[in-house]
Structure 1
């Protein structure tokens, strides 16, 4: 395949690098940093945008006393959706807002920076999912060694109780947090009784004779079994792409600059749909091909002009692997 492409027709990240270099050298691109601004408001079913919070002290008063989910939520599989269902049920009873705490970067990126790409999604795909499901706010503190080294009791008292004034926490049964991962469900329950918040613990969810987990989804994607991965996810696997604002994208193949922290599926050709955030339907259908060297090429049935705007985003939803 000829790697010297017309960069005017090349999908790229508008927030890092020269597009010609990205296309011709097949470099990966960094995921959009939530802490530098999303650029696109992710809107929920009631038309209210998801609020990004990076400091508990800045939370608006009307979002305090929330039902808050804690976790990494990479991929938002059926197990994560069980936490969401529990949070929605509790919030409905108390007329409470719903919040999510999910740190960035992913803890594995901090503690194993040389590890191969493993993430199922970027901060933008995660935020788009929460916005679509009607979450009121996303608490996404920067995860660094200082944050990771907090004593779990201090995290509970200073952030969850004093900052967010949470009414209920919703967590998976194996959730761990704080210095040396000393915090666990038992600690949350014990301090919750003392500090005045409830704790809902959700057990593992099994689907198609397998436990729903991000690790299991990753393994399926790396083997190319998109349909089985989507079954565990409960939705199509989505990958974020950048697109040049106001670009008119013509037909033909485009080399995709893949986000550096997101894993690639096994080499092969995959049916995909392309959509904009908050859109009710896809822009186009097409195919992404991953070759043996890891280069990803996107070919769509048709290309459309993208509305002008800062840091435009496209999402590609993987549907199935093509035979052969």
Structure 2
């Protein structure tokens, strides 16, 4: 428990689970506007009852369980998903392990054993497309039909559309894969971000006048390779502060065409960031990754990239993902 946000896992004893709460259920990958509508509905229901509001989510992502060898571009890993959920003001999250037993649980057993008996819920909020239970036979309509007999309330949120296109985690992934940062930001309700530890690299940036903080992202990250205007978050709580920068994500074709790496040049910063955990929020796309004939041409382009990043950041709203502390 940290800052009032309680994380309940499968091993939690029944006595440690607050009863009578309202739950928003979903995978919540990215915690986009559609997810936030479900969370808001749970909040409203919980306030009317004077009860706590929790998210119920699943780890690993069910897609990973059913297709373990397939590439799975997650918008948020478990930690960042929980940080985003904590940032909404929820009282906590119930993290259910998605394994063979969970996959084999019938929809009726999920409702009665997990939601009613174990969690003791008084209300449920879900999205229109929520599916659950063995074979994904459970649906919002099943929850609604069971609600009167169970003495609970069920709220089903309709799709959220932007320019007649439904907001979804898949749509956000597609936007990021195409470098459409503004579209991703709109669907998420804030900038997409990643978190990682600054590692040692080849240190080429120092000789070029652009020392970078290098972060290795998940191998399945589907972000378009290119140059971005970014905001960087460092530290926690009262020690948290933000910096601006320009970042490259890709394979460095001018040099080695190696494994994808996020390289962040932090504006107006002097110091050592090795071993530091940074949050990097993507504010704008500048250009595709390119191969240059020589260092001089590369540095000239980097000067232009930095200037364009500063212009984009100055014009962008002063926003950063609202993250809660989870310990």
Give the structure-2-normalised TM-score.
0.75
Following TM superposition, by how much is the alpha carbon of 1:62 offset from its aligned partner in structure 2, in angstroms? 7.2
Q: Which residue of 1 aligns with 2:266?
A: 300
How many residues align? The count is: 270
Question: How has the CA–CA distance of structure 1 residues 274 and 303 changed in structure 2, closer, same or farther, with 3 Å as cutoff?
Answer: farther
Aligned to 2:71: 116
Given that 1:271 and 1:287 are in contact with CA atoms closer than 8 Å, whether structure 2 keeps it comes out as yes
- 1:165 match: secondary structure: coil
Partner of 1:14: none
**For the structure 1 residues 223 and 120, does the alpha-carbon distance in structure 2 shift closer, same or farther, using more than 3 Å as the test?**
same
Q: Normalising to structure 1: TM-score of the pair? A: 0.76
CA distance in 1, matches of 2:95, 2:249: 32
Q: For the structure 1 residues 100 and 130, does the alpha-carbon distance in structure 2 shift closer, same or farther, using more than 3 Å as the test?
A: same
**Is contact 1:57–1:163 with CA below 8 Å preserved after alignment?**
no
Q: CA deviation at 1:278?
A: 4.5
The residue that corresponds to 1:253 in the other structure is 212
Please, which of 205, 228, 240 is the counterpart of residue 160 of structure 2?
Answer: 205
**CA offsets 1:69-105 (integer angstroms, 9 cap, x no match):** 1101111111111112111111111111011111111
Q: Say whether the 8 Å CA contact 1:64–1:166 is kept in structure 2.
A: yes
Contact persistence 2:230–2:281 (CA under 8 A): yes
- The unaligned stretches of length 5 or more in structure 1 are 1-40, 245-249
Aligned match for 1:284, one of 238, 243, 248: 243
Q: 1:140 to 1:260 in 2, by over 3 A?
A: farther
Taking CA–CA contacts closer than 8 Å with sequence separation of 6 or more, which of the two structures ends up with the larger relative contact order? 1
In structure 1, how many angstroms separate the alpha carbons of the residues matched to 2:169 and 2:182?
A: 15
Deviation at 1:264, TM superposition (A): 3.3
Which runs of 5 or more structure 2 residues have no equivalent in the other structure?
Answer: 200-205, 252-256, 289-327
The corresponding residue for 2:282 is: 318
Does 1:137 pair with 2:92? yes
Cα distance in structure 2, aligned partners of 1:303 and 1:59: 50
Q: CA RMSD in A?
A: 2.5
Once the two structures are TM-superposed, the CA of residue 63 in structure 1 deviates from its matched residue by 2.4
| Alignment pair present for 1:146 and 2:138 | no
Answer yes or no: is the 8 Å Cα contact 1:78–1:205 preserved in 2: yes
Match of 1:88 in 2: 43
